[in-house]
Structure 1
Amino acid sequence: MEWLKELINQLQPVDKNAPAFWHRYSAALKEQPSRDTPLSEAEFVVFDTETTGLDQRRDKVLSIGAIKVRGLQVLVSDTFECLVQQEGAPATKSAEVHGLLSSQLEGGIPEREAVEGFIDFIGNAVLVGQHVAFDIGMINQMLKRQGISGKLRNRSVDTAHLAIRLERRHADSHTLKTAEYSLDALCERYNLPTEDRHTASGDAFATALLLLKLLSLAKKRGITTLGELMKG
């Protein structure tokens, strides 16, 4: 009943007191592309967040990286990237992974400005990420802290789930090895570069390249429209 969920999302009223960027976003969602849209014509925003940890309720976003894919091409000139000011944030184990220091984050932008810029960037595009539900959840928490009652309502594609779907059509789920579907493993399998891993922009770019590989594989499986891609 994905179509019903989309209809409900489109009919949700917008708080008249919401900031201008949220009104722009809500208006854009009313013009989401049809499920019959060919994948070759669809616009995707591939994004990643670096965070203080994995608890969506308590941890915070330190950086966001996003890049657009349109016409089955990665648009390297159409990107969004920011560091987010979060007091004391790097004093966590996650700092060992993303490498962000307090001194770097001090040069970042306020959370309100970061989430507003990201929302304006994505518009009604299909959101794509490796385990994208986590990143969407972190953005939703940013919105909540800024007094926005709504959440992201774009269609979304998880590259890990899509890879599993395309590669293991008839396989037993009990034999699935999740490590084989990490971003590093998938990039290695498809001979994709992985420079700047564990930075938001680097991971977004690697995931965008992975998306193109998966869309090519999807075409061979007879998947050619957004609606077909969103199934399963």
Structure 2
Amino acid sequence: MKRSILFDTETTGLDPATGDRVIEIAALELVSDLPTGKSFRVLIDPERDVPEEASRVHGFTAADLQGKPKFSEVVDEFLSFIGDDQLIAHNARFDFGFLNAELKRAGRKPLDLGRMVDTLDMARERFPGMPNSLDALCRRFGIDLSARTTHNALLDCKLLADVYVELMGGRQHGLGLVADGTNGHAVMYEGPVNRRVVRVVPTQEELAAHRAFVEELKEPVWTAE
């Protein structure tokens, strides 16, 4: 069965080239595109300050990270967890850029971009001209966002796992068999937790964005109406 890793990072800012660092890594193991229950999560001392604007996004301050391990101290455990498998993330180029900067700083080989699967690219292909942030996709697929008050990496991974199943075509409730992550026994995949079954109706904002996208196409095969 195909194994892949879905992951997310939180950082001190937007650009590793200007000194921003990773402060949190979270990852979930998927087998046949479904979560197995195995996960990896670590908070990291970035060895620098955490700007207030970054704290407002992810909720972590410099005080929260005092005494946490440095990236060089957790890199072996992280690399062991991800193995050589496919790596899935939303806006994956951002996360790959930060992780490769940390790996270079630690004297390790960068992650191969050929392993990258970007769910943002997948969403843009499926919903052209529409908002495709993680929040927007969760609302579109009826996935509960009530716990997402900040960009916690582990919670974002769990939400993205549900989104990824939908982007891959969805699974009929209760029919997916996956390993339970402990003794290799198969268990029933019960679908996204607290998922609401809804009829997806685009918002006026999404419809307007879609019309604007179609109007920019040369000889579109469909109209915006």
Residue aligning to 2:162: 209
| Matched length | 167
Structure 1 unaligned spans of 5+: 1-40, 169-175, 219-232
Residue aligning to 2:97: 137
- Answer whether contact 1:166 1:217 (CA < 8 A) is retained: no
Q: Kindly state the Cα deviation for residue 56 of structure 1 after the two structures are TM-superposed.
A: 2.2
Deviation string, structure 1 residues 110-144 (Cα, Å, up to 9, x no partner): 21122222111111111111101110110101111
Please point out which of 33, 37, 44 is paired with 1:72: 33
1:151 paired to 2:110: yes
- Answer whether contact 1:50 1:98 (CA < 8 A) is retained: yes
- Answer whether contact 1:53 1:92 (CA < 8 A) is retained: no
Once the two structures are superposed, the pairs formed by residues 190-209 of structure 1 within 5 Å of their partners are 190-194=141-145, 195-196=147-148, 197-209=150-162
User: Matches of 1:46 and 1:107 in 2, distance apart?
Assistant: 27
User: Matches of 2:29 and 2:144 in 1, distance apart?
Assistant: 18
TM-score (norm 2): 0.69
- Answer whether contact 2:47 2:70 (CA < 8 A) is retained: no
User: Matches of 2:157 and 2:74 in 1, distance apart?
Assistant: 17
Which residue identity is paired with 1:80? F
Residue aligning to 2:69: 109
Q: Kindly state the Cα deviation for residue 183 of structure 1 after the two structures are TM-superposed.
A: 0.5
Residue aligning to 1:227: none
Identity between Structure 1 and Structure 2 (%): 32
- Answer whether contact 1:115 1:142 (CA < 8 A) is retained: no
DSSP 3-state at the match of 1:113: helix
Q: CA RMSD of the aligned region, Å? A: 1.8
1:91 paired to 2:51: yes
Structure 2 unaligned spans of 5+: 172-225
DSSP 3-state at the match of 1:75: strand
User: Matches of 1:101 and 1:92 in 2, distance apart?
Assistant: 8
Assess, with a 3 A threshold, how the Cα gap between structure 1 residues 151 and 88 changes in structure 2: closer, same or farther.
closer
Larger radius of gyration: 2
Runs of 4+ in 1 over 3 A off after TM superposition: none
Residue aligning to 1:185: 136
Which residue identity is paired with 2:84? N
